[in-house]
Amino acid sequence: MDVTIFGSGYVGLVTGACLAEVGNQVICIDVDEDKVAMLNAGGVPIFEPGLDDLIAKNRQAGRLRFSTDPDEGVAHGLFQFIAVGTPPDEDGSADLRHVLAVAKSIGERMTGYRVIVDKSTVPVGTADRVAEAMRAAQSERGHHIDFDVVSNPEFLKEGAAIEDFMRPDRIIVGTDNPRTGELLRALYGPFNRNHDRVMVMGVRSAELTKYAANAMLATKISFMNELSNIAEAVGADIEMVRVGIGSDPRIGYQFIYPGCGYGGSCFPKDVRALEHTATTSGYKAELLQAVEAVNHRQKERLFSKIERHFEGALQGKTFALWGLAFKPNTDDMREASSRRLMEQLWAAGARVRAFDPVAAEEARRIYGERSDLELVENRMDAIEGADALVIVTEWSEFRSPNFADIKAQLNTPVIFDGRNLFDPTQVTAAGVTYVSIGREPAC
Ligand code: NAD
């Protein structure tokens, strides 16, 4: 089948590469000329395990192309995917500027029936607005060509995106037109062989399902972070509590890790956008407000612990950071906890020496050259002569360090662990002070 994808970011590239891999002819269109030039030169602008190889293989096979030309894109695909960004607006709502620009662009150019597949995360009612934008663009040309708009939210996780796309838990298809449902079912057939994962529902339900999923996951995290703070207040160990509650199958062990807050391009903006949708629909979403507030506070938790430990004397100190990305296996630093922490440390006059297996380039892009940030190539280089080690992202390569080496390299032997990676007795046995989340009474 012929597929066009607008947007060559995390979602667009993974969708394009995976649809090409099963034999479709795919064109990815992006407005970012540098990005498209890089892709056409064989580069890949993001870090996502396995994506380079998949793109290279399908480009070579002639099934995957990249372009900035919307004429080419609209002429090509029966399916026109929208996978552009929906960043938060100032009031927390999703900014639909890019989505509607693509809709207009398709409406202006289409000469035959098209299925518009909305993969971006968009508020309930967006499919109607996409259809409106397309109709307006068509009527300016005096055309009335048939089209359908489908909501097909994406559930991939950065870091495991290819596996998630190739073997999805569910494929949500929101449409009120059975014929379009069948077209999408056919497109997704290769990813739906083991058992039926396609769930066809109304457009509004599909749009809400994506927000509901992310809000639920964010709620689990904020719940555990709230509990970790209570554990500190009462002298309990949150890790014991986690294991205790996870054993109940109604709760389960997944996604109940306490930490230093959630970040990334999805949870923060999607919780805010859902809350905004609820408010504008006349409902006050108090739980969502609390999820967001708890997360905001949790992102400052590591700094408070550091400040307390050094009794406020942070001026001139150097902190080694392990982890910059918002989670392991990605270079994405959007709303990452590392950013809030670094900004607080800098404001207090401290310096940061950071190591991340893949996100250093992204940190350089965000912060540029500055004298209080040093990005190093090796995790042990970050520690040498630093006043403390702070763990912000749970990369697996951080899980089993040599604590004696860490003690020898640090100026003052203390680890602040925002992800509870270590057994406290092991760390303290090596003579290193260990401050983690929800496992010691608040001082
Ligand atoms: P991204 O910022 O990585 O990529 C978006 C791309 O769209 C950019 O390359 C940008 O240049 C391009 N673009 C903007 N306007 C365009 C236009 N008019 N025509 C063509 N291209 C245009 O975004 P992303 O992380 O891939 O997210 C895309 C959407 O998918 C968002 O709504 C997001 O919430 C949702 N989503 C993201 C993830 C994730 O893990 N990143 C997962 C599920 C859903």
The 10 Å Cβ neighbour count of residue 132 is: 14
Tokens of 84: 């552009």
Q: Which residues of 195-230 are buried (b: 16+ CB within 10 A; e: fewer)?
A: eeebebbebbebbbbbbebbbebbbbbbebbbbbbe
154 pocket-lining for ligand 1 (C-beta < 6 Å): yes
What distance in angstroms lies between residue 117's CA and the mean position of ligand 1's atoms?
14
Q: Of the candidates 424, 59, 116, which has an alpha carbon nearest to the alpha carbon of residue 240?
A: 424
Q: Which residues contact 408 (CB under 8 A, 6 or more apart)?
A: none
Cα 269 to Cα 133, 156, 211, 289, 303: the distances in Å are 24, 16, 10, 12, 23
pLDDT at 422 over 50: yes
Domains (range + CATH), the chain: 2-201 (3.40.50.720), 211-296 (1.10.1040.10), 299-435 (3.40.50.720)
Q: How far is the CA of 362 from the centre of ligand 1 (A)?
A: 17
Q: Sorting pLDDT into bands at 50, 70 and 90, what band is 265?
A: confident
128 assigned ligand-binding residue: no
The predicted-structure confidence for 240-253, as pLDDT tens digits, reads as follows: 999 999 999 999 99
In the residue annotation, 18 being an active-site residue is answered as no
Strand residue runs (E) in 126-170: 147-151
Q: What is the pLDDT of residue 441?
A: 59
Do 67 and 36 meet the contact criterion of CB atoms below 8 Å apart? yes
Cβ contact 434:428 at 8 Å: yes
Confidence of residue 16 (pLDDT cuts 50, 70, 90): very high
* pTM higher than the cut 0.90: yes
Tell which atom from ligand 1 comes closest to the C-alpha of 11.
26
* Index of the ligand 1 atom closest to the CA of residue 155: 43
Q: Is the CB of 160 under 6 A from ligand 1?
A: no
The ipTM value here is 0.99
Q: Using most ligand atoms within 8 A of CB, pick from 154, 163, 269 the residue to mutate for ligand 1.
A: 154
